[in-house]
Amino acid sequence: MFRFRPRHPLSTPPAEATGAAAAEAPLVEVSDLTVEFTGSRKASAVNGVSFSLPKGRVLGLLGESGSGKSVTLRALMRLLPPRRSRIGGRILVDGQDVLALDEKGLAHYRGGIASMIFQEPILAFDPVYTVGRQIAEAVRAHDAVDWATARARAIEMLEHVQIPQAARRYESYPHEISGGMRQRAMIALALSCRPKLLLADEPTTALDATVQIQILLLLRELQKEFGMSVIFVTHDIGVAVEVSDRLAVMYGGRIVEEGDLAAVVRNPRHPYTAGLLASTVTPGLRGRRLTTIPGAPPDLSDLPQGCAFAPRCAFASADCAAAVPPVRAFGQAGRLACFHPLESAVPGALGPGPIAVPTA
Ligand SMILES: Nc1ncnc2c1ncn2[C@@H]1O[C@H](COP(=O)(O)OP(=O)(O)OP(=O)(O)O)[C@@H](O)[C@H]1O
Ligand SMILES: [Mg+2]
């Protein structure tokens, strides 16, 4: 079991909670995003997601499997299959209307403004070219530099992500390096054009615990150094706490709770958030059985008429089954979609100390 110490002491609210964030210009503004898959596997994967992310901040996007986290990120990168999906709403990144970009605009946007790293780095690389060459190619796709300069920049990026003997590794093929090194190389690839927004989709899940921590620390350093905004997808609350300034909790393709990290973790208002937190072991509760939320996530091809969490919610009443609770402002700079928000911290939610993350 490994412990992560939150970047902000949970008792000290970061700028958002004090209202200072109000002055920060958002880099990302997503309004009422919807994604529907229309092929043989019909699904309403994203159902009216809205959030904004200031420059240089990290949003943790948390939720169980199938809640729409990856689809949301793919929509932000315009990586969804155009013939089998319908996207609605608006995505603004650095002033660009992402859903309206043409091929040329997209080529500049991907890598130049926004980059994505995935859970499985082997998929990001073409097995027939060396790792270094692929990073150099990404550099050349955005900057009119010769190969020698692109090579030098690629090696510099490999050094930046702390790959030993970077010049030698430049010549390695993806299968010749370890999983942790491949993940570092993918981060180098994603950052090679200095994006303003990094979308990280469970980038440490496939790694063993020690390497996971190293990669999280590296990402945190690079985020600060490059001043990037990051959306970090995870289903692991301990990881989310480690990397995030703000936390958004997804369920059934919607954000059901969003707010400053400390506020959400200290005092979850949505029963689903409280359930996720209660299923995380805290130091004081070590040895106690992990609670899991009874029931299964909703079927996105057949969502209920009301709140998608109602069938699993101990607080649900008739109104929850009748209508979807609208997202409304809650507390200091927080948002919540629930008819029966919890009033105070739930026993079993996180205490003041570092959060212990179960490794199994
Ligand atoms: N190309 C696709 N065609 C049809 N349905 C899809 C497609 N991609 C995703 N979905 C569906 O959209 C829903 C949301 O998927 P998504 O991958 O966003 O979940 P997730 O929150 O990232 O889960 P996980 O934690 O398992 O990665 C799922 O029900 C999934 O089956
Ligand atoms: Mg996913």
State the average pLDDT over residues 13-28: 58
Q: What pLDDT is stored for residue 281 in this prediction?
A: 54
Euclidean distance between CA atoms 170 and 157, whole angstroms: 10
316 and 180, same domain (yes or no): no
Q: Ligand 1: which of 37, 47, 67, 71 to mutate, judged by most atoms within 8 Å of the beta carbon?
A: 71
Q: Which residues contact 14 (CB under 8 A, 6 or more apart)?
A: 8, 245, 260, 261, 262
In a domain, residue 10? The reply is no
Question: Can you give the residue range of the structural domain that contains 190?
Answer: 25-251
* Ligand 2 centre distance from Cα of residue 357 (Å): 20
Q: What is the pLDDT of residues 105-136, one digit of tens each?
A: 999 999 889 999 988 878 889 999 999 999 99
Same domain membership, residue 308 and residue 171: no
- Model confidence pLDDT, tens digit, residues 220-258: 999 999 999 999 999 888 888 888 999 999 999 999 999
> Does residue 192 share a domain with residue 55?
yes
Do residues 322 and 306 make contact, with C-beta atoms less than 8 angstroms apart?
yes
* Residue with CA closest to ligand 1 atom 2: 37
* Number of separate domains in the chain: 2
What proportion of the chain, given as a percentage, has pLDDT over 70?
A: 85
In a domain, 199, yes or no: yes
Residue 109 in any domain: the answer is yes
CA–CA gap between residue 239 and residue 233 (Å, rounded): 9
- Please indicate whether residue 43, judged by its CB atom, sits closer than 6 Å to ligand 1: yes
Q: What is the pLDDT of residue 330?
A: 84
Instruction: Answer whether 115 contacts ligand 1 (Cβ < 6 A).
Output: no
The span from the CA of 171 to the CA of 182, in Å, is 13
Q: 207 with 259, same domain?
A: no
Position 15 confidence tier, pLDDT thresholds 50, 70, 90: very low
Asked whether the predicted pLDDT for residue 354 surpasses 50, the reply is no
203 part of a folded domain: yes
Give the ligand whose atoms come closest to the C-alpha of residue 86: 1
Q: Rounded to an integer, what distance in angstroms lies between the CA atom of residue 262 and that of residue 257?
A: 13
Beta strand ranges found along the chain (DSSP E): 2-4, 26-37, 43-54, 58-62, 85-93, 96-97, 114-117, 197-201, 229-234, 246-251, 254-260, 328-330, 334-336, 355-357
- Tokens 């959306």 belong to which residue? 231
List, in sequence order, every beta strand (DSSP E) within 104-261. 114-117, 197-201, 229-234, 246-251, 254-260
Gap between the Cα atoms of 24 and 108, Å rounded: 25
Which residue type does 117 have? I
Statement to judge: residues 262 and 206 lie in one domain:
no
The answer to whether position 322 is within a domain reads yes
Q: In what order do the strands lie in the sheet with 96-97?
A: 43-54, 26-37, 85-93, 96-97
Q: Are 114 and 229 in the same domain?
A: yes
In a domain, 75, yes or no: yes
Q: How far apart are CA 260 and CA 104, in angstroms?
A: 36
Query: Structure tokens of 97?
Result: 């209307």
Q: Are residues 32 and 130 in the same domain?
A: yes
Does a structural domain hold residue 212? yes
Shared domain for 197 and 320, answered yes or no, is no
User: Do 199 and 131 share a structural domain?
Assistant: yes
Type of residue at 145? V
Q: Are 204 and 32 in contact (CB under 8 A)?
A: no
Are residues 216 and 276 both part of a single domain? no
Residue 298 pLDDT: 92
- Where residue 247 sits, what CATH number does that domain have? 3.40.50.300
As a whole number, the mean pLDDT across the chain is 85
141 with 38, same domain: the answer is: yes
Q: What's the rounded mean pLDDT across residues 68-83? A: 95
Is residue 305 pLDDT above 50, yes or no? yes
What's the pLDDT band for 295 if we cut at 50, 70, 90?
confident
pTM (2 d.p.): 0.87
Residue 65 CA to ligand 2 center (angstroms) comes to 7
**Position 351 confidence tier, pLDDT thresholds 50, 70, 90:** very low
Instruction: Answer whether 70 contacts ligand 1 (Cβ < 6 A).
Output: yes
What's the number of CA atoms in the CB half-sphere (13 Å) around residue 257? 28
Evaluate whether residue 223 is within a structural domain: yes
Please check whether residues 134 and 221 belong to one and the same domain: yes
Please report the atom of ligand 1 found closest to the CA of residue 81.
1
How far does residue 176's CA lie from ligand 2's centre (Å)?
26
* The two structure tokens encoding residue 238: 């301990």
Single out the residue of 247, 243, 291 nearest to residue 265, CA to CA.
247
In angstroms, the CA 192 to CA 112 distance is 9
